[in-house]
Homo-oligomer: A and B are copies of this chain.
Amino acid sequence: MAGLLFVVSGPSAAGKGTICKRVLAETDLELSVSATTRKPRPGEEHGKEYYFLTEEEFVQTIENNGFVEHVINFGCRYGTLVKDVEERLARGKDLILEIDVQGGYLVRDVFPDAILIFLVPPTPEELERRIRNRGTEDEESIQNRLQTARREVKCLKDYDYLVINDDLDVAVEETKAVIQAERCRVTEDKYIQVTDIFKES
C-alpha cells in the first residue's frame, strides 16, 4: 500500500520545526530529502542530507514542475522534489513535510491525498513573545512577522487539522494522533485486503 503524506504548516514561530523533529524521533515517519544549491558541508552526501544541484539544474527542475515547493534562503535555493516524495510513498513510507503556509496547501495540487496539519500558537500575544524571545530580530521585522501570521491564519480553511501549540507535549501528541488516525482510515486498498481475509469460504 502507498504511504501517506503529512504536511505540517503554520506561521513562523508556531513551532513547526520542533514538532516535526519530535514526531520523527517518536514515530517511523520519514522526511523527504530536499534539493539545494548550497555547497555540501564536510561529511554531507548527495541524496542523504540533500540532493546537491547546480543553479542550472535547480532552475531546470523548477521549469519541469519538479518541485512540490521551493524557496530561497540567504541566497541558496531549497526545494522538495516531487520525484523523491513519489518514490518514498510508492515504497509504502509515510512522510512528513514541514512547509510554510504559502507552500503548504499547494502540496495538494501535486499530491491530492496529502493530509494537511496547520499549527498555530494559542494567541498573537504568545506568538509575539516567542519571536521576541529568540532575540534575533529588529522591531520592524517582528511587526512584519506578526502581520504575516495574522494573514496566514486565514489559510487554515484549506487544511484538514488544526493543532494549537500551547503546550508542546500536547501539540506533539495531537500531531501523532492525527498520523495514527489517518493510518486507520478506510481506503479502497484496505477494504479489499480485509474483505479478502474474511471472504466467505
Contact = CB atoms under 8 A, between A and B. Distances in A.
Given A177-B177, A180-B174, A181-B177, A195 B161 contact: no
A195 to B, nearest CB: 6
Contacts of A201: 150
A191 B151 contact: no
Contacts of A159: 186
A122 to B, nearest CB: 8
B156 A195 contact: yes
Interface residues on A, range: 35 or more
Interface string A149-176: 1110110110111110000000001101
Consensus secondary structure, chain A interface: helix
A164 B159 CA distance: 28
A153 B184 contact: no
A198 interface: yes
A161 B181 contact: yes
Given A178-B181, A181-B178, A197 B157 contact: no
A120 interface: yes
A54 interface: no
Contacts of A150: 198-201
A58 interface: no
A123 B197 contact: yes
Across the A-B interface, the 3 shortest Cβ-Cβ residue pairs: A181-B181, A177-B180, A153-B198
Interface of A: 117-118, 120, 123-124, 147, 149-151, 153-154, 156-157, 159-163, 173-174, 176-178, 180-182, 184-186, 190-191, 194-195, 197-201
11 contacts: A117-B184, A124-B198, A153-B194, A153-B195, A153-B198, A161-B184, A162-B190, A173-B180, A174-B184, A176-B177, A181-B182
